[in-house]
Amino acid sequence: MPSISPLSGTPAPERSLAQDSGPAARAAGAVPPMTRNRPFGWLLVITGVIGWLASGTLVLEKLEVLKDPNHVTVCDVNPWISCGQVMQTWQSSLFGFPNMFIGIVAFAIIITVGMALLAGATFARWYWLGLQAGVTLGFAFVVWLWSQALYDIRVLCPFCMIVWAAMIPLFVWVTIRNITAGVIPVPANAARVLGDSGWIITALLYVAVIATIFFAFIQVFTGTSGF
């Protein structure tokens, strides 16, 4: 015989079944697994740590360059792959100080948010909107730096590319998480398609970056660069 709830007199199993089949439960089941707090929190922590370590390495190398202009950075490989050469350009200090200091702070915030989610924290809509704004601006900044490296500076910085690699899934999944959670209003069908396509979008962006690098430096790959 089913147990009786002391508050409502409703048999506990029947009430539980009704709750599990309600609209909220169905909506929860439709949420992409990657946008749920635990996997999403791990995504933030992993991408944040990768970006923070790459930015930190660039900070250390920049400090060495400031102390000794002739310092050879750990990623000075050849005329086409050199953090040191990129550090000497105006684009590397767009706001009057080295760009990598922005990465140190920004990725630390991402790691903190990820750890908070893993600990069970919840955030208000305004907080998610703020995170979305920050990640979007960061992604736009990275895209600009990528275009400058390929088509103006024409030198690649390996640790900068690690930051690019971390920013792509970070931007994609923060955006999809906010869309599927209703933070960013989007029609239900579009939200469902985006939720099911997160890793596909991420992979396509990686392919696009690799393709643009290949075609921008095709003379290097074909051995016609003169070096």
* pLDDT of 227: 52
Confidence at 69, pLDDT banded by 50, 70, 90: confident
- Please check the confidence at residue 23 and state whether its pLDDT lies above 80: no
Higher pLDDT, 5 or 176: 176
For 198-207, the CB contacts below 8 A with 24+ separation are: 198/32, 198/34, 198/172, 198/173, 199/34, 201/172, 202/168, 202/169, 202/172, 202/173, 205/168, 205/172, 206/165, 206/168
* pLDDT of 13: 40
Task: Encode the chain in three state secondary structure.
Answer: CCCECCCCCCEHHHHHHHHHCCHHHHHHHHCCHHHCHHHHHHHHHHHHHHHHHHHHHHHHHHHHHHHCCCCCCCCCCECCECHHHHHCCHHHHCCCCCCHHHHHHHHHHHHHHHHHHHCCCCCCHHHHHHHHHHHHHHHHHHHHHHHHHHHHHCCECHHHHHHHHHHHHHHHHHHHHHHHCCCCCCCHHHHHHHHHCHHHHHHHHHHHHHHHHHHHCHHHHCCCCCC
Confidence at 25, pLDDT banded by 50, 70, 90: very low
What is the chain's mean pLDDT, rounded?
87
Average pLDDT score over residue span 178-194:
94
Q: Catalogue all structural domains in the chain, each as residue range(s) with its CATH number.
A: 35-221 (1.20.1440.130)
pTM listed for this prediction: 0.83
* pLDDT of 226: 55
Residues 112-164 have pLDDT tens digits of 999 999 999 999 999 999 999 999 999 999 999 999 999 999 999 999 999 99
* pLDDT of 120: 96
